[in-house]
Amino acid sequence: MNNILAGHTNSYHTYSLDESLAGIAKAGFKYVELSAVKGWTEHVPLDATDANIAEIQAKLKHWGLQISSLSGHSDLTTAAGVVDGKKAVDLCQKLGVTIMCTAIGGHYSENEDKSAFMGHIHDLADYAAARDVMLALEIHGDIMASAALSVPLIQEIDRPNVLINYDTANCIFYGNVQAVDDIAKAAPYLAHVHLKDKAGEVREWNFPGVGEGYVNFAKVLSILDDVGFSGPLSVEIEFQGEPWPPLAEVDRAMKVSYETLSGLGLK
């Protein structure tokens, strides 16, 4: 596979951008998914000035990292969430990013209001399209708990720049389905993939380093190769939620993740 492999700075949720970039680069990654999620992981502030952007770009250059995508989650069932979504799209344009990962109800939401979402998504989609940005809606929450549930929604939205960000652990947590049994269904609408591992029970918040849970990544990558997916892959580790583990443990998990995936042919 020749897909871009990135480390997601949300894996460093309670740590600084400097700490996250250092850990991701030292693990071996050459690409990074930056987090710009208001009220959660604000490694890139939504209201970033030109000076902020220049500083971020200098940090990336220092660590030899290129941006693969931006995580710009906001609650798209609300008008305020769409405002934040548009700010994240603007950040994509400033940073030269063409894929923005987001989700229906923000960074953690279930029981989502589909009608409210449908009342907002076309506005955001058209705003993003005018700026050449793809919106990748994450497998997340109840409405998009799996590819099987998400594909009809993407078809209903019917915008060429609104596709799926498949999360290989969220499909288990929210949808009780293994990625190997589900991900191929998303193939025609797939823009981005979060390579995230899962441990523990279905509804247990337990997302360790890649290779330390029970997701079959060799099979997942084989399926993606078979369906011809060429988009970015991003490693996200969310551990057991807050409090986040010590920085040394986050660094270790990122390194293990890179080693596991590079052993499966990714670089």
Using alpha carbons, select from 162, 153, 209 the residue that is nearest to residue 190: 162
Percentage of residues in the chain having pLDDT higher than 70? 99
Region 89-99: mean pLDDT is: 98
pLDDT at residue 106 in the model: 72
pLDDT at 261 over 90: yes
Contacts of 165 (CB under 8 A, 6+ apart): 101, 136, 137, 138, 139, 191, 192, 193, 194
Closest CA to 7 of 259, 254, 229, 238: 254
Check residue 1 and give its pLDDT: 83
Element (H, E) at 164: strand 162-167
Domain ranges of the chain: 5-233
The CATH code of domain 5-233 reads 3.20.20.150
Question: What letter would DSSP give residue 166?
Answer: E
- Sign of the dihedral defined by the CA atoms of residues 138, 142, 147, 151, in that order: negative
- Torsion sign, CA atoms 151, 153, 159, 164: negative
For residue 267, pLDDT beyond 90:
no
Position 105 scores a pLDDT of 87
The predicted structure's pLDDT at residue 175 = 96
Residue 51 to residue 72: CA distance in whole angstroms: 20
Question: Coil, helix or strand for 141?
Answer: coil
pLDDT tens per residue, range 115-162: 999 999 999 999 999 999 999 999 999 999 999 999 999 999 999 999
Within the chain, what is the greatest distance between any pair of CA atoms? Answer: 46
Question: What is the tens place of the pLDDT at every residue in 65-76?
Answer: 999 999 999 999
List the beta bridge partners of residue 144.
140
